[in-house]
Structure 1
Amino acid sequence: MDEKKKKLGFNIIKKTDPMANHKGFGKGALSLDNVSPVIIDVEAGDAVIDIGAMHARSAVEKGIKFLANKEEVPNGKPYWLVWVTIDRHEEGPYYAGVTACYMTVDREIRRGFKSLPEHVNRMDKSLKRHIIVADMDDKSKKILADFLKNHNEVLWNNSTDELKQGLNAE
């Protein structure tokens, strides 16, 4: 490969970056300032924000080799990785994109199941303001709804009916 050629890469630019409005090479870079990964532990019944999940390095994922076949991890503990994007409209800030991805982890054998393409695509869908929570079980939906309400009531109150109905919260 010619070393002088510019490499196209995945650019993450902060909103305050002076290059954010430039029109040159790398235009159209993606900002991840307003997206957060939330990990739901289904069995424990809790949810936490774990920024490490942005690079598949959350506390749940560390030290685990992920396989693409669910049957290879029969005793996996269920988790949901939920991409939550925040935006602002006329009423104020709100949860604009919420997309969930399933995964399992078996700490004993240090293996887990997840579909990496699905995780990447769902993060993209969240950034594009989609709500995709239909795959979640009712217990997980309640955990997520309670977490989002308790995390920031204003964001929750300003959110769409699509989100609230999707999480059976209305």
Structure 2
Amino acid sequence: MEELELTGQTRHKTPDELSGLTAVILDGENVYVDKGALHAKSRVERGISFSDDPARRGQGRRVALVWVSLGRSEQHQPCVHGLGACEMWVNEDDQTGYKRLAEHVNQMDQAVKGRVSVDVLGSEERRRLADFFAENHRDVWEASSASLRDALLR
């Protein structure tokens, strides 16, 4: 019988393309970064049993999750490289929710590839996300491409 080769490493390693990835949650008026979303363990997801049954959509409250990929501008400044937005519905009363995991993965991929996919966000959500970047990470926001900023401010 062949013996398993264990490395003894205790740290989780992240592929390079995911090392600059994080999630910004838009939950009502609250906008915040939640790194737990990378493992489907954001603050709003914990304790919720999710279904991809379309009948569950619209039950509870809508929460938008925006995958944010960070990179470097042409001037080598930290910037937002890509954005991918998706939604979920959370009903804390019965600890159930709706989300399409495939859509979350696809939007994460869009962000990592440097694309901007925020169609699921309404104009008010886009403005709040732009304000979040401008107020909390002004240097990153200003170094981001004009097309990315315009996508949020349109």
Is TM (by shorter chain) over 0.5? yes
Equivalent residues of 1:134, 1:166 under 8 A apart: no
Amino acid at match of 2:86: C
Instruction: Give the AA of the match of 2:63.
Output: Y
Q: Say if 2:93 is the partner of 1:108.
A: yes
Whether the aligned pair in 2 keeps the contact of 1:73 and 1:106 (CA below 8 Å) is no
Segments of 5+ residues of structure 1 without an aligned counterpart are 7-11, 15-28
Over 3 Å counting, the alpha-carbon distance change for 1:37 and 1:149 in structure 2 is same
Change (3 A) 1:155 1:125: same
- Counterpart check, 1:155 vs 2:140: yes
State whether structure 2 residue 129 is matched by structure 1 residue 144.
yes
CA distance in 1, matches of 2:115, 2:2: 39
Which protein is richer in helix relative to its size?
2
Q: What's the CA shift string for 1:81-101, capped at 9, x where partnerless?
A: 111111112221210111101
Q: What RMSD, in angstroms, separates the aligned Cα atoms of the two structures?
A: 2.1
Q: TM-score, normalised by structure 1?
A: 0.78
Secondary structure of 1:167's partner? helix
Please state how far the C-alpha of 1:121 moved relative to its aligned partner: 1.4
Cross-structure match for 2:18: 32
Distance 2:89 2:137 in 1: 28
Distance 1:39 1:3 in 2: 46
Distance 1:80 1:74 in 2: 13
| Structure 1 runs, 4 residues or longer, greater than 3 Å off | 2-6
Structure 2: segments with no counterpart, 5+ residues:
6-11
Summarize the Cα distance change of 1:95–1:74 in structure 2 as closer, same or farther, 3 Å threshold.
closer
The answer to whether the 8 Å contact 1:64/1:111 transfers is yes
| Change in 2 beyond 3 A, CA 1:5/1:104 | same
Count residues in correspondence.
147
Residues 107/153 of structure 1: CA separation in 2 closer, same or farther (3 Å cut): same
- Residue 88 (structure 1) aligned with residue 72 (structure 2): yes
Q: Secondary structure at the match of 1:75?
A: coil
Retained in 1: the 8 A contact 2:58–2:89? Answer: no
Q: Does 154-163 or 111-120 show the bigger shift?
A: 154-163
